[in-house]
């Protein structure tokens, strides 16, 4: 809300500045021509502009936002017609009291017509400025509200991503670790520690807008190791995380949907399968690559069609607009997904 209030305040200051400058232009030009400066001229200029300022701000704060809409536009036009009529009467009365020297052949009526035309045109210009200013302000306010809604949606999507650690995954992992206690107690203890670290990070440490890249790498490493417990020797899993020496931060859980997608769609217990995950810096860009074997599935359960991947695209666009690349390919039985986040390394 602070940004929206800032937009409103800045718009109002801009408009006040416009009227202040307008009230100073003619007196200053006159003083430059005569090499004299008069505060009285400035006061007279401000006084002459006050009715026009009233018309402008009455439109800006009253007629435009409340009545320039379907079903109520007649109030907007009627209000401005009343203002125009008032100005016409005012100019006409002032014109009738005006006396021109005899040497001027121009008639008073002609002067009055010109004055009425000029004030009417100026009125229309002011109304157009009021309408334009209001719509510009509303555009930026709407843009900010949309950004806020997108941010809230992204936060909701992050909660959804955390739910990827669903009960099915948790129960399978615990069962696998339980089985290991009989076969390899050391491996079971290591897996239990990884499981604990994974839950701690997903539930508590990933609430920040950005997290250290090494923490995110540890999370992915633990997730891959725990997922690997479910598969037999026909599945080859490899991972490589080359972290930069400097501290780098990244949006939390940004890559987990791709890894989850790879294990879900790229592994067949009866056939040779593989999942390869890598992450490294190339110059200032972060490169994440996830490759897996591809097995055709029918219906809606196709690789790359999940809700998680759609949410991933939305989060990338929101968090790294114009600073990322997302590429997927599916060739020769290999599905590949690459994300390049520019300028964070």
pLDDT of residue 169: 60
**Is a pLDDT exceeding 90 seen at residue 213?**
yes
**pLDDT, tens only, 57-75:** 999 999 988 888 888 888 9
**Is a pLDDT exceeding 60 seen at residue 222?**
yes
How far, in Å, CA of 25 to CA of 42, rounded?
9
**Is a pLDDT exceeding 60 seen at residue 100?**
no
pLDDT of residue 34: 62
**Alpha carbon of 43 to those of 24, 37, 57, 65, 293: distances in Å?**
9, 12, 20, 31, 81
DSSP symbols for 319-342: HSTTSEEEEEEEETTEEEEEEEET
φ, ψ (nearest 5 deg) of residue 114:
-60, -40
**Is a pLDDT exceeding 60 seen at residue 122?**
yes
- Reported as a pLDDT band with limits 50, 70 and 90, residue 306 is low
**Is a pLDDT exceeding 60 seen at residue 300?**
no
The long-range contacts involving 112-119, CB below 8 angstroms and separated by at least 24 positions, are 115/91, 116/87, 116/88, 116/91, 116/92, 119/87, 119/88, 119/91
Mean pLDDT along residues 125-154:
85
More confident residue, 236 or 28: 236
Mean pLDDT along residues 124-132:
91
Residue 209 CB partners (closer than 8 Å, separation 6+):
251
pLDDT of residue 98: 61
Mean pLDDT along residues 81-106:
72
How far, in Å, CA of 56 to CA of 124, rounded?
10
């Amino acid at each position: 809300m602070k940004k929206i209030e800032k937009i409103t305040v800045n718009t109002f200051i801009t408009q006040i500045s416009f009227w202040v400058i307008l009230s100073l232009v003619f007196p200053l030009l006159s003083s430059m021509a005569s090499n004299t400066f008069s505060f009285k001229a400035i006061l007279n200029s401000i006084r002459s502009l006050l009715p026009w300022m009233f018309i402008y701000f009455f439109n800006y704060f009253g007629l435009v936002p409340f009545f320039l809409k379907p079903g109520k536009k007649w109030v907007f036009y009627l209000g401005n017609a009343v203002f125009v009529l008032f100005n016409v009467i005012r100019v006409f009365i002032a014109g009738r009291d005006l006396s021109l020297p005899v040497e001027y052949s121009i008639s008073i009526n002609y002067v009055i017509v010109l004055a009425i035309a000029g004030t009417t045109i100026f009125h229309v210009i002011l109304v157009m400025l009021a309408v334009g200013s209001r719509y510009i302000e509303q555009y930026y306010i709407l843009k900010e509200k949309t950004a806020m809604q997108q941010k809230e949606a992204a936060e909701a999507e992050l909660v959804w991503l955390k739910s990827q650690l669903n009960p099915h995954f948790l129960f399978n992992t615990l069962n696998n670790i339980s089985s290991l206690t009989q076969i390899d107690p050391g491996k079971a203890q290591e897996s239990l520690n990884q499981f604990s670290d994974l839950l701690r990070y997903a539930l508590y440490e990933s609430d920040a807008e950005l997290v250290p890249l090494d923490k995110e790498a540890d999370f992915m490493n633990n997730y891959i190791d725990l997922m690997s417990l479910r598969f037999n020797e026909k599945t080859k899993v490899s991972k490589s995380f080359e972290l930069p020496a400097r501290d780098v931060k990244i949006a939390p859980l940004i890559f987990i949907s791709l890894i989850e997608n790879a294990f879900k769609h790229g592994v067949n217990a009866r056939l040779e399968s593989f999942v390869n995950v890598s992450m490294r810096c190339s110059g200032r860009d972060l490169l994440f690559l996830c490759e897996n074997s591809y097995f055709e599935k029918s219906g809606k359960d196709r690789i790359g069609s999940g809700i998680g991947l759609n949410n991933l695209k939305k989060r990338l666009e929101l968090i790294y607009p114009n600073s990322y690349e997302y590429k997927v390919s599916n060739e020769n039985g290999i599905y590949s997904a690459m994300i390049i986040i520019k300028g964070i390394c």
